[in-house]
Amino acid sequence: MADSVFSKYDKNGDGTISCVELYDALKELLGMEPWWTLFQRVRSKADANRDGKLTKEEFCNVAAIFEEIKALKAVFGEMDQDRSGTMSFEEMREKAVTFYTTHADKYDGKRAMHVMNHYAGDKKKGMMEEEFLDIMFKDSC
């Protein structure tokens, strides 16, 4: 990864990415405040030695995770056809088959089930982007 990316996030220039700096980086990527579960996942995946800060090597994991989040956000945007910010059951159903056949190698059927289960008993319920990310991002990579 380019040093310029790392130094962009290492705001105080101490050579590591702190929790606060990681939070800001994530916020920038998401375009909204990161929610706790997502932040925790990103942090625990990236911080290999669990000392609470990320070295340049550890931050490489973040770059991969960020790419994945970006890809998932794009997927959600595609599914949310009316751009309401939530994915309705109909939108999900319409796109789900295509999605899981296209990405079957990456996202296993278990996650597809989680998404389906979200609508169980209440098909009027929408799914928000953060709920979608929470499901799709779970224990991946």
Task: Enumerate binding residues for Ca ion (CB under 5 A).
Answer: 10, 12, 14, 47, 49, 51, 58
Retrieve residue 26's tokens: 């994530």
Contacts of the segment 37-45: beta carbons below 8 A, 24+ positions apart: 37/134, 38/130, 38/133, 38/134, 38/137, 41/137, 41/138, 43/19, 45/141
Name which of 12 and 40 has its Cβ closer to Ca ion.
Answer: 12
Name which of 51 and 94 has its Cβ closer to Ca ion.
Answer: 51
Helix axes 19-30, 56-79, angle to 10 degrees: 30
Name which of 14 and 82 has its Cβ closer to Ca ion.
Answer: 14
Q: Which of 69, 92, 66 is nearest to 79 (CA)?
A: 92
Dihedral of alpha carbons 114, 109, 36, 123, sign: negative
In the complex, least distance from residue 53 CB atom to Ca ion, rounded to whole angstroms: 5
In the complex, least distance from residue 57 CB atom to Ca ion, rounded to whole angstroms: 9
In the complex, least distance from residue 13 CB atom to Ca ion, rounded to whole angstroms: 7
Name which of 29 and 60 has its Cβ closer to Ca ion.
Answer: 60
In the complex, least distance from residue 71 CB atom to Ca ion, rounded to whole angstroms: 25
